[in-house]
Amino acid sequence: MAFRCTAISRLFRGAGTRLAAHVGAQVTFEGSGAEGILDQAIVRLEQERSGLFFLHWPDADLAGHSDGWMSPAYQCGARQLDGALERLARVTGVLDDPSTVLIACADHGGGGIVANDHCSRHLEDITIPIVMVGGQVVPADLGAGASLVDIPATVPWLLGIPTPTNYAGRALTEGFIPVRRPVAA
Ligand SMILES: [Zn+2]
């Protein structure tokens, strides 16, 4: 069964809000497009200088689904994401800050077989970028097996929280300089 991400986003709002409340986190749905969402997020980032922040920027995804991957609309969305990422990096100072990590990724590729779909095993559908930036990030070959499931394992590792032993993903440790990390109580 396949869901369009726009539908998933609406479906996830209620579930995401309840899940976040369960773990003591807050969820807001403010702004539209990467720059507008970032405008709202910056207010929170300036108020709370530490913690885990998750931003969902829909620009390229929506354009890929509606107009096709690599279409002019998609490329416009990708440029908007790129600009917002540069601004986020500048605002947070992540490039020079060893205590901050920025991880950016897509949730799927697209356009492999059908221009505006991503449900095949075509290389363009299953190739997904993962970008990690920060003062403790180093250039590294993460290996062909690196995937999105490794991100939820990497985040707690960065925070000094053990990854559950039954979790499928692994911390992408080779992407970071070796430092002593805090161990959660
Ligand atoms: Zn999508």
pLDDT tens per residue across span 2-16: 344 444 566 778 887
The overall average pLDDT reported for the chain is 88
Q: CB of 168 within 8 A of CB of 149?
A: yes
Q: What residues sit around ligand 1, an ion, with C-beta below 5 angstroms?
A: 5, 61
Work out the angle between the directed axes of helices 59-67 and 5-22 (0-180°, nearest 10): 150
Ligand 1 centre to CA of 74 (Å) is 12
Please tell me which residue, 49 or 146, carries the higher pLDDT value.
146
Ligand 1 centre to CA of 21 (Å) is 25
Ligand 1 centre to CA of 124 (Å) is 13
pLDDT band of 67, cuts 50, 70, 90? very high
Q: ∠ at Cα 69 (10, 82), nearest 5°?
A: 80
Q: What is the pTM of this model?
A: 0.86
DSSP secondary structure letters along 140-157: ----TT--GGGHHHHHHH
Q: What is the pLDDT of residues 88-102, one digit of tens each?
A: 999 999 999 999 999
Ligand 1 centre to CA of 70 (Å) is 14
**Distance separating alpha carbons of residues 36 and 52, to the nearest angstrom:** 20
Ligand 1 centre to CA of 138 (Å) is 29
**Distance separating alpha carbons of residues 36 and 22, to the nearest angstrom:** 27
* Of 50, 136, 55, 142, the residue nearest 101 (C-alpha): 136
* Of 28, 180, 169, 163, the residue nearest 105 (C-alpha): 169
Q: What is the pLDDT of residues 31-49, one digit of tens each?
A: 889 999 999 999 999 998 8
Ligand 1 centre to CA of 185 (Å) is 38
